[in-house]
Amino acid sequence: MSTRSAALLVRRGLSARKNRVLLGSTAARAFASSEGLPDSIKRVGQASAFPNEYPGQVYAFNWCLNKDGVTPLQQSAFRITKSLDLRVAGLTPPGSMPLKIKAAAASKMPEAGSESLEFSAFDASSEQTRDLLSLSDHLYCPEGHVPGTRTSVRIITNSSSLAPNLLAYLERAPRKDPPESLPITVYALEGSGYEFAGYAIEEVEVPIIDEDDGKDWSTGDGNVTHEAKSVAAVVVAGSAPDISLVVAGIELSQKALAEDEEARAAEKAEKQA
């Protein structure tokens, strides 16, 4: 082969490689700018779901449980507001709904700060119970209204037997998203090495919500106005917690919250008179 022929072949080879690179880059640019492609393969797209979320592992609900003092370390916490949620959690709905449950005697469910239960004892048992719930393999969290009222309750338990019956006991309430802490929170621990039952009423400051837009009402100077509200925590722990104790704690808490609201309303009316 002559030197000229060899040089010609080299130039043709270089030209072909350049053309291939040019065609490839042109195709890539055309692909990236093409219209009609699904969002999933465009360079800029909106995520429709958080990664690694699945039934029992929902970030918004996990954060809500954190605010309630329980961290689902095993990534298995089910928010249960209806019968279908029980099935999703691997539980069987009870045979009858609603379910009437007779509460245990009030003497078996003392209030923190009374002669029967000091605040320090309640706080210690509450913290221990919440810590053990955080370590549980699964958490089941029925939500609803105290029967005959509009007071919302969340029950956080590791008991697969308590959860279905407690959901049937509660009246169904509208599901609110994102989830938030509720006026009454119940911590029911099964399989503990100690027995405990008690409840506590606490006053907290909550922002006033503007019913027109659902946002916190502001005074205009950047400060959100707050008002006093009572909230309740019920703690029941044991090897096999009695559901009647849980119901007693819920009903006693609801009664205390209603009395506090009546007292605040009377005080407000007196000031305005």
Q: Residues 12-22: pLDDT tens digits?
A: 444 444 444 44
Same structural domain, 198 and 240 = yes
Number of domains comprising the chain:
2
Residue 30 within a domain: yes
Could you tell me if 7 and 109 lie in one domain?
no
**Is 48 a domain residue?**
no
pLDDT in tens, 59-87: 999 999 999 999 999 999 999 999 999 99
Residue pair 251/153 in contact by the 8 Å Cβ criterion:
no
Residues of the domain holding 142: 59-272
Q: Do residues 33 and 65 both lie within one domain?
A: no
Which residue in 148, 253, 127, 141 sits closest to 201, CA to CA? 253
- pLDDT attached to residue 35: 58
Is the same domain home to 29 and 133? no
Residues 73, 132, single domain; the answer is yes
Q: Which CATH number do you get for residue 126? A: 3.40.449.10
pTM to 2 decimal places: 0.78
Is residue 213 located within the same domain as residue 241? yes
Residue 49 lies in a domain: no
In a domain, 46, yes or no: no
For strands 139-145 and 196-207, give the pairing. unpaired
What angle in degrees, to the nearest 10, is found between the helix axes of 243-272 and 162-169? Answer: 40
Q: To which residue do tokens 């065609």 refer? A: 23
pLDDT category of residue 95 using cuts at 50, 70 and 90: confident
